[in-house]
Structure 1
């Protein structure tokens, strides 16, 4: 990847077994798709399909063998609790967030854990957050499925180049219109 390249990363979380098709369509136009946990099924990962085919996912507190179908346990076993992605201009750390303060993950704790990252993605709360005033950024795409979407399924699109990162918030209506 040269220094002038720009890549597009689709960021989702908290699908709970269902990826909203409007978000899947956005991910198809991305270079990389990121899932910050509570996936709850291999079908969601298959439906993410970015241009490159590269999907990065972490386990959420609901990503357990009791929840995933028995035939999907091998795929679940390959998903870790953290991930790091090298992008133009810095790295993106990915966690689910429940490890950093329960229902209200603490941004300072995540920043202490990943001080070298340019941004940290987390899920768990189902609430979109873009804390961009302190480095590293701490961002949450909200919920990309049907459960507790807090206004409709949502995601974030990150455009990363060596010199600049831009974040776009996307939210769809609850009704699917």
Structure 2
């Protein structure tokens, strides 16, 4: 079995509780709108492997200048081979919100599950195949109830999900 931490939409701020959860997983998947290279560096899964895709806010002009070269190594989507199937990862801004899940299923029919972000809305749509998963926002921006992520346990004959949502942290004064 392989344990995968799935997160998205950090926008330069990774919640420490999500970071700690990633450290208990074998690998990490980031669905875009990363925000800066430090977020990726702080993701330290047990096997050390982090797969990330580019989001609509992951633009050189929005990242610190000295970190913008990291964006060159990111793609619009990734297909990750896991025990029991393929996990497709895309940020989701490329598809209109209306009927997005059907559009994703048509675009990635070979996948067992599809991860997207962009909306910051935590959900796990298992009503049809492939599953459509949105881990919500793992930082401070528009978390809609608190920072969140999904843990996928992938085995050859069974995939299972654990939804993780943390209480929002109250900010007093200015952000660092």
- Return the alpha-carbon distance in structure 2 between the equivalents of residues 154 and 105 of structure 1: 23
CA deviation after TM superposition for structure 1 residue 105, in Å:
6.6
Kept in 2, the 8 Å contact 1:97–1:105? The answer is no
When residues 53 and 105 of structure 1 are mapped into structure 2, their CA distance, relative to the original with a 3 A threshold, is: farther
Residues 16-40 of structure 1 show CA distances to partners (whole Å, capped at 9, x for unaligned) of: 0010000000000111100000001
Given the alignment, which residue of 57, 75, 84 partners 2:79? Answer: 84
Instruction: Determine the C-alpha separation between the residues in 2 that align with 1:87 and 1:28.
Output: 19
- Answer yes or no: is the 8 Å Cα contact 1:122–1:139 preserved in 2: yes
1:71 maps to which of 63, 66, 71: 66
Structure 1 contact 20–144 (Cα < 8 Å) conserved: yes
Structure 2: segments with no counterpart, 5+ residues: 171-176
Shift of residue 175 of structure 1? 2.1
Using the size of structure 2 for normalisation, the TM-score is 0.94
Give the number of equivalent residue pairs.
170
Identify the match of residue 36 of structure 2 among 41, 44, 63: 41
Q: Distance in 1 between matches of 2:32 and 2:96?
A: 16
SS in 1 for 2:94: helix
